[in-house]
Chain A
Amino acid sequence: MSQQDILEGLAAIVNEVAGVPVEDVQLDKAFVDDLDIDSLSMVEVVMAAEDKWGVKIPDEEVKNLRTVGDAVTFISANS
């Protein structure tokens, strides 16, 4: 799966969970600071991503996923 596919999937999830417009979800955007995703929405995004790509994203790892790009890289490396 291409990084672009993952980005698009992730954008759809972020939109569904937190109402952020799909086009705002770009690789360089930080979940908390740029997209206003708080810790509980982040849990939901992570759960939806786990479901969609069959990856396991442990709680310790979630802290390292600061930007959308971090998440895309982690998912493509682990799915």
Chain B
Amino acid sequence: MTIALTQTAGSVGTKILSVGSFRPARVVTNAEICARIDSTDEWIQERSGIVERRWAGPDVSVVDMATAAAEKAMASSGISAEALGMVIVATVTHPYVTPSAAAEVQDRIGAANAASMDLSAACAGFSYAVALASDLVRCGTCTHVLVVGVEKLSDWIDHEDRGTAFLFADGAGAVVIGPSDVPGIGPVVWGSDGSQKDAINMTQSFIDYRDVGGDIFPALTMQGQQVFRWAVTEMSKAAQAALDAAGITADQLDAFIPHQANNRITDALVRALALPDTVAVARDITHMGNTSAASIPLAMDALLESGKAPRGGTALLIGFGAGLVFAAQVVTLP
């Protein structure tokens, strides 16, 4: 017999309650990078906007960084760890197949009532997780969700590869998402193009490395121009679609916080979206490099801390990367 079961219903609106971030202590200059690749400070700055990046040392793990950012976000959220119903950690650099980084973060922050999981969507991971977290609250599955974006990419790059060594870096950012009377997270516009899986991937699988061997430990590899071309054309469309879906226009934005992939991609998106000067544009990459899933919350925290974007203001987020996958949404800043 088919019985109508009870299903939950949640809050009509959701928002980001707070943000927190963790920046590793060690600053790595372009000069240090150029000791291992044939490049120059000038080239790196021109092509990417990166002046320096942060790398975590061997004593700082993905879980350590995630926990540090989570604790900061929790401290300013106004809710207790017990109120969390889910911990989502977006990452592609946790060096264990199992258990997840999220399970450890859940335990370390004392989120005794939370479920936990990792989410693998590379540089789009944070925006994916925000969309899921918002829907979990809207459906009444959870009242509050912790989302962390964290990467330790310095462990997974070939430090002798000219195409990636200067680009990728480490860090973590976290947000707490909960119910809101005023809707503060717009519809997600997302997608996936797995036909471009080779645009950013690994040099080799770990199993092949173990069984067949290889020149280097498996590392990230990237077709830079292919990614650039895709990002500039497709992401401007996705960003515009996210504005449309939220029912706003570009001139209503206070901030634009794209994944900090490369300042040149950001420049092209700003132009394509015809963002007015009144919109603060995140340029956290200058001092942090490309931190994949961590870059958006890190940049959000920096914009708010510096006063360049107002608390309670409206921001467009867009994450994009390996897959290729992407996700964009408009949010109210915490």
Contact = CB atoms under 8 A, between A and B. Distances in A.
Nearest to B268: A44
A38 B47 contact: yes
B225 interface: yes
A1 B228 CA distance: 30
A47 interface: yes
A43 B229 contact: yes
B228 A40 contact: yes
Interface in A19-75: 38-40, 43-44, 47, 59
Nearest to B264: A40
Nearest to A41: B264
Contacts of A16: 271
A43 B228 CA distance: 8
A47 B232 contact: yes
A47 B229 contact: yes
A38 B43 CA distance: 10
Interface residues of A, number: 8
B251 interface: no
Given A16-B271, A44-B268, A39 B225 contact: yes
A44 B232 contact: yes
A59 B232 contact: no
A57 B62 CA distance: 42
Interface string B246-280: 00000000000000000010001001000000000
Given A16-B271, A38-B46, A38-B47, A43 B225 contact: yes
A42 B154 CA distance: 30
Contacts of A39: 47, 225
B271 A40 contact: no
Interface string B33-50: 000000000000011000
B46 to A, nearest CB: 7
A16 B268 CA distance: 10
A38 B264 CA distance: 11
A38 B263 CA distance: 14
B113 interface: no
Interface string B232-245: 11000000000000
A16 to B, nearest CB: 7
A8 to B, nearest CB: 20
Contacts of A43: 225, 228-229, 232
A10 to B, nearest CB: 17
Contacts of B264: 40
Contacts of B229: 43, 47
A66 B101 CA distance: 49
B149 to A, nearest CB: 26
Counting chain B CB atoms within 10 Å of each CB, the highest count among A40, A44, A47, A59 belongs to A40
A43 B267 CA distance: 14
Given A39-B225, A40-B225, A43-B228, 14 more contacts: A16-B271, A38-B46, A38-B47, A39-B47, A40-B47, A40-B228, A40-B264, A43-B229, A43-B232, A44-B232, A44-B268, A47-B229, A47-B232, A59-B225
Interface of A: 16, 38-40, 43-44, 47, 59
6 contacts: A16-B271, A38-B47, A39-B47, A40-B225, A43-B229, A47-B233
